[in-house]
Structures are given as C-alpha cells and as structure tokens.
C-alpha cells in the first residue's frame, strides 16, 4: 500500500492502526478477528437467521457452537458473491458436532441453489448423524406481481 493511502487510512480511522493490513486497536496491538465472539455459555433460540445472506464474512463454526437454534434460516441466492456460502453450511456441521447433545435442527433455505443442493447431497450422512433436517419447500406464496417459495414453521 502506498504511504499516502496508509496515512489516509489512519486519519479516517482515528484510534485504529494497520498491522499487516489488519485493523488493530493500539491499546492491544493485536489483530482483531472478524469473528470475535464474547466469552460465555451457548445461547438457545427457536429460530435463527444466518447473518449476511449466509455469507462467510460473519459466520463461522463458533457461531453455530454458540447460537444453538431449532431452526436456522439460510437466505442467499447470489453465487457471484458467495451467497449462500458452502463454508457456512459446513460450519453448521462442525459447530453442531460440538453441542454434546443430539437436539434436532432444521435448516430452512429460502432459495433452491446449486450450493445448497450439492452440500445437501454430499453431506447427507453427516446431517443424519447430527440430527439435521433440511427442508425443501414446494409451497409458493404469491403477493402482487411476485411469487416465491415458502415454508410453514410450527413451534
């Protein structure tokens, strides 16, 4: 990075500096992870929406170790931007394998994509072992000039 770009970067981010291209807090002088999760026990919820259209930018195995849901909603229909991310779907398997109990989990994709189909087929045995069910919706909701797949969830 040219020196001019570096100086602009530090002026636009007061209190932050770059170490090997990673923003750091001068007080700690250690790189920040984009996956920083506070220390604490797992959180159990009925329904969780996987952040950022199931992009690998904000979700890793630690998310699934800590956010334990009966239902995870997976959106994303933009293969060019890595949505949904195969790495995130694999992270679900890795994270759930650390739960220590075999609670049923239902994965609800909002779109039928090549990534989710391939992941489903290639990891089906692991999904069964971990008690993960993937829903495929054959229902359609029609609103005004738009129609889209739908799922009914009962608690």
In Å, how far are 2, 57, 86 from 17, measured between CA atoms? Answer: 15, 21, 32
Domain count, the chain: 1
Model pTM score: 0.64
81 pLDDT tier (thresholds 50, 70, 90): low
Query: Is residue 13, in this structure, part of any structural domain at all?
Result: no
Residue 66 has pLDDT above 50, yes or no: yes
Q: What pLDDT, on a 0 to 100 scale, did the predictor assign at position 27?
A: 45
For tokens 């229909």, the residue is 77
Task: Express each pLDDT in 14-25 by its tens digit.
Answer: 444 444 344 444
Query: Is residue 91, in this structure, part of any structural domain at all?
Result: yes
| Domain limits for position 84 | 43-149
Query: Is residue 155, in this structure, part of any structural domain at all?
Result: no
36 pLDDT tier (thresholds 50, 70, 90): low
Distance CA 143, CA 155 (A): 25
Query: Is residue 81, in this structure, part of any structural domain at all?
Result: yes
Residue 122 has pLDDT above 90, yes or no: yes
Query: Is residue 33, in this structure, part of any structural domain at all?
Result: no
């Amino acid at each position: 990075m040219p020196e001019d770009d570096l100086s602009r970067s530090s002026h636009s981010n007061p209190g932050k500096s770059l170490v090997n291209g990673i923003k750091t807090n001068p007080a700690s002088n250690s790189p920040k992870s984009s996956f920083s999760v506070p220390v604490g026990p797992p959180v159990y919820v009925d329904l969780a929406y996987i952040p950022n259209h199931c992009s690998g930018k904000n979700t890793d195995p630690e998310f699934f170790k800590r956010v334990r849901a009966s239902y995870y909603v997976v959106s994303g229909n933009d293969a060019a931007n890595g949505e949904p991310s195969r790495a995130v779907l694999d992270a679900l398997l890795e994270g759930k394998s650390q739960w220590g109990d075999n609670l049923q989990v239902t994965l609800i994709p909002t779109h039928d994509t090549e990534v989710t189909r391939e992941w489903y087929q290639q990891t089906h045995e692991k999904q069964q072992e971990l008690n993960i069910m993937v829903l495929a919706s054959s229902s359609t909701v029609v609103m005004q000039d738009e129609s889209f797949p739908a799922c009914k969830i009962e608690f």
